[in-house]
Amino acid sequence: MHAKLTAAAPLSTTPSFYEAAQKIYPREVRGRFATKRRWTVVLLLGLFYSIAWISWDGQQMLLFDLPARKFHVFGLTLWPQDFVYLALLLIIAALSLFFITALAGRIFCGYACPQTVWTEVFLWIEQWTEGNRSQRQKLDQKPWTLEKILRKSSKQLLWLSLAFYTGLTFVGYFIPIRSIGAELVNLSLGPWAVFWILLYSLATYGNAGYLREQVCKYMCPYARFQSAMFDKDTLVISYDELRGEPRGARRRGAAPAKPQGDCIDCTLCVQVCPTGIDIRKGLQYECIACAACIDACDDVMDKLGASRGLIRYTTEHAMAGKQTRLVRPRLFVYGALLTLATGVIAYSLLTRTPLILDVIRDRNALYREVRGDWVENAYSIKVINEDDKAHHYRLQAQGIAQLELVVPTGVIDVAPGSVANVPVRLQAPAANAHGVHPISLRISAQDAPNIVRTEKTRFIGPQS
């Protein structure tokens, strides 16, 4: 009984999930994959910082103009009513991520995730101001000398400037960036713009400067569920245990006294790891597949005169000596869904009519007798002009012989992005209008014949 109790006791305590975070000093790394990442970082950040300043038809090319409630996307103007496109776009982004993850593992994490990209740049700044890994470690332990103050403060200055410019650019995708720039110079920026800029600057500074790998380990939902997309044919970074073990130091040229693997236990793969894991312990969810350990290990293997690839991109099947299947059902499913979503968004954007017509029949009265032997039905129509210029619209009704349309307001003029509620009456001779008749209302822009919408409604006349 007693033994059972002591065994049960640890279960009832909440275990400490979180070890104290140790500061990681990633060692700088050179090699094939580091070069690729450097170029990806330059390309992605270049796009991020420059696209905001590019104009298209006198408009910012990519601007989700929240103050004006309209989105400019490569010459196209979208309104809140077009929210479905944004939702579709997000679905496409998610499906692409699933597809790429199933195929190539966490390529996104290692090369393209904003967290990785900005952390990389912040690390460059850190290396530039504080030196390499061991210099940084020593600097942190040193007392505050003038040199330390200078190095630390220049790092902070560069970090803060970059973070601020990043926040500014980010907000510039939601508030016209040129106006932000001008207002910043005049110090006339609105309080909420300042709030969002500072919030995103702070997020960049904190995430890329301090939280770093902890964002991937503790905050990123994708890191937790990406394994659901993995299978035995997914590209992962793996240590070749068969080849590497038993590990241990060895002298060049000297024949080892006992059987020895290729791993010399130099721990460089651990030192370069931005999340501080040991890849030799197998695939771990902290691994963001940045391939820094591959570069480091390849370098060591080159020096030893051994073949590269003790740590390499491979698949679980390949590791087990089996064939890697590139084409597999999972990829077809993700691929098909992706194609479908892309097709839907492309088709609907290409055939999009920047006009919406809603017709609501007035339910207060079935019909009204007018002009002696004529009957009248009342409707209220809603015209939404989704174009980026004003239009003058023409309304036509069809469905009953001698049907007449009365628009009390005379004309239907709608400003860009606006909604007009227009009361409308339809009149027909009672003799032609017994019972219920389907009616179609057609609205067209007078200056643009391709902007046309047709909606169906009903006309109710007296029982015969």
Partner 1 sequence: MATPALEGNRSDRQFWMDVGMVLWSSFLAAGVGAIVFFAAVDPLLLRDAGPQRFENLSREAGYALGFLFFWALAASAAALSVYMVRSVGRSDDRAATQREIR
Residues binding partner 1 (CB under 8 A): 4-5, 8-14, 16-18, 20, 66-67, 69, 80, 83, 86, 175, 190, 192-193, 195-196, 218-219, 221
Cβ-based neighbours of 357, under 8 Å, separated by 6 or more: 381, 382, 383, 384, 441, 443, 453, 454, 455
* Residues 6+ away with beta carbon under 8 Å from 217: 223, 275, 286
CB of 90 to partner 1, least distance (A): 9
Q: Which is nearer to partner 1, 220 or 318 (CB)?
A: 220
66 or 430, CB closer to partner 1?
Answer: 66
User: Which CB sits closer to partner 1, 108 or 367?
Assistant: 108
C-beta of residue 205 within 8 angstroms of C-beta of residue 234: no
Compute and round to an integer the Cα radius of gyration of the chain. Answer: 33
Q: Tell me how far CA of residue 267 lies from CA of 29, 82, 272, 296, in angstroms.
A: 13, 54, 9, 10
Would you say 39 or 218 has its CB closer to partner 1?
218
| Residue number with CB closer to partner 1 (4 or 258) | 4
Distance of alpha carbon 107 from alpha carbon 449, whole angstroms: 48
Supply the DSSP string of 258-270, one letter for each residue. Answer: S---S-----HHH
- Measured from the CB atom, the residue of 80 and 462 that comes closer to partner 1 is 80
Beta carbon nearer to partner 1, 18 or 144: 18
- The alpha carbon of 90 is separated from its chain's Cα centroid by a whole number of angstroms, namely 7
| Segment (H or E) for 432 | none
Instruction: Name residues whose C-beta falls within 8 Å of residue 364's C-beta, 6 or more positions apart in sequence.
Output: 378
Give the shortest CB-103-to-partner 1 separation in angstroms. Answer: 26
Task: Pick the closer one to partner 1 by CB: 13 or 141.
Answer: 13
Question: Across 173-245, where does the E strand assignment appear?
Answer: 236-239
Percent helix, percent strand, percent coil in the chain, to nearest 5: 45, 20, 35
444 token code pair: 């067209």
Cβ at position 80, least distance to partner 1 in Å: 5
Shortest Cβ distance from residue 447 to partner 1 (Å)? 28
- DSSP letters, 308-351, are S-SEEEE-HHHHTTPPPPSS-HHHHHHHHHHHHHHHHHHHHHHT
CB of 110 to partner 1, least distance (A): 22
